[in-house]
Amino acid sequence: MLRQLTRSLRLTSRAFTHFNYGTDSTAGQIPVTQALVGWAEKLKAAGIEDTKFNLKCIISHVLNKKFNTVPDSFEKLQFNSSQLADFERFLEARCARMPLQHIIGEWDFMDITLKTAPTVFIPRPETEEFVRLVIENYKNEKHVNLLEVGCGSGAMSLAMLHSLPQVVSTAIERSKAATVLAAENAKLLNLQDRFTVHNHTMEEDKYMPEELKDKKYDLIISNPPYVKTEEFQYLHPEVVVYENLNALDGGSDGLRVARLVFELACRHLHPGGKLWLELGNEHPPMVKTIMNLKYEGRLKFIASYNDQYKRERFVQIEKV
């Protein structure tokens, strides 16, 4: 019986074959360096480039430690049996190109940590730059009534609310899962008193939910879907397989949803109010042309801004 038990324990994982089943404090522990053997190669073979970063993220998560506190060498770190099982399960998922953010279930965005959920858009690092730019422009305002179109996990609004106590935010979002997640993130961050999210799909002639149809705002922000439909073939599996395409698909020129936001802004910004958009790098000149040709006397193109890679990505528009 004892022999059988010992045998089945040995079979639970290849990596446990050198286990010490004795009574000292390291019983049932395996060095992380040993558990790691072969995984960097498997990740590479699956097409994942930054294997070191991926492994460190997963190890930190399994050990419930902050990324920065884990040594790059992983020396002296140990997994117990359930941690080892998690580690292997998460790495298998990563080899199937599940995004790290979904494996870990949360992700840092600027100074806040957001819960993530399958099918809800994962906030990107460039969006942090975008939000910093908007915050810089509004830090001296007394009160800001903000509307966000397509809030996803709530990243942009919640980071603004976290930095600027004078902001109150309303968001609309077409995905039910994202609406629920954004509200949950607001609660986790204790920002729920200044954040409301409505499950609504902005459409032509139905830009806002009925209850907000007469509301006006000082500022509208949006990171609308802006990937051109033809570019989908070049996206990574993490995006195509695991993200909701409604969060990405901007139609043939990438501006299908942005055009709806322009109409919404005409109706729901106070005169002098601003619309800030994160878009693709081809879009700012196109937006400038659209403003001049179609919105003269209603919306005015103020400026565009580059991201850290010097790509023209962000635009500021004013309601006349």
Ligand X SMILES: C[S@@+](CC[C@H](N)C(=O)[O-])C[C@H]1O[C@@H](n2cnc3c(N)ncnc32)[C@H](O)[C@@H]1O
Binding site for ligand X (CB under 6 A): 121, 123, 127, 149-153, 155-156, 172-175, 178, 201-202, 223-225, 246-247, 257
* Closer residue to ligand X, CB minimum distance, 77 or 120: 120
Q: How far is the CB of 251 from ligand X (least distance, A)?
A: 11
Shortest distance, position 315 Cβ to ligand X, whole Å: 15
Shortest Å distance, C-beta 152 to ligand X: 3
Q: Among residues 247 and 317, whose Cβ is nearest to ligand X? A: 247
130's tokens: 């975008």
Q: How near is the Cβ of 74 to ligand X at its closest, in Å?
A: 31
Closer residue to ligand X in complex, CB, 84/257: 257
**E strand residue ranges, 66-208:** 78-79, 106-109, 112-115, 144-149, 167-173, 195-199
Q: In whole angstroms, what is the distance from residue 67 CA to residue 101 CA?
A: 13
Q: Which is nearer to ligand X, 149 or 299 (CB)?
A: 149
179 residue type, one letter: T
Which residue minimizes CB distance to ligand X?
150
Q: Are strands 30-31 and 78-79 parallel, antiparallel or unpaired?
A: antiparallel
Tokens of 76: 């002296």
Phi-psi label, residue 202: left if phi above 0, alpha if psi -120 to 50, beta otherwise: beta
Q: Determine the Cα–Cα distance for residues 37 and 223; give it in Å rounded to an integer.
A: 41
Element (H, E) at 169: strand 167-173
Closest distance between ligand X and the C-beta of residue 241, in Å?
Answer: 17
| Dihedral class, residue 288 (left if φ above 0, else alpha if ψ from -120 to 50, else beta) | alpha
Phi/psi of residue 194, nearest 5 degrees: -115, 15
Tell me how far, at minimum, the Cβ of 190 lies from ligand X, in Å.
Answer: 20
Toward ligand X, which CB reaches closer, 32 or 155?
155
Nearer to ligand X, 260 or 317 (CB): 260
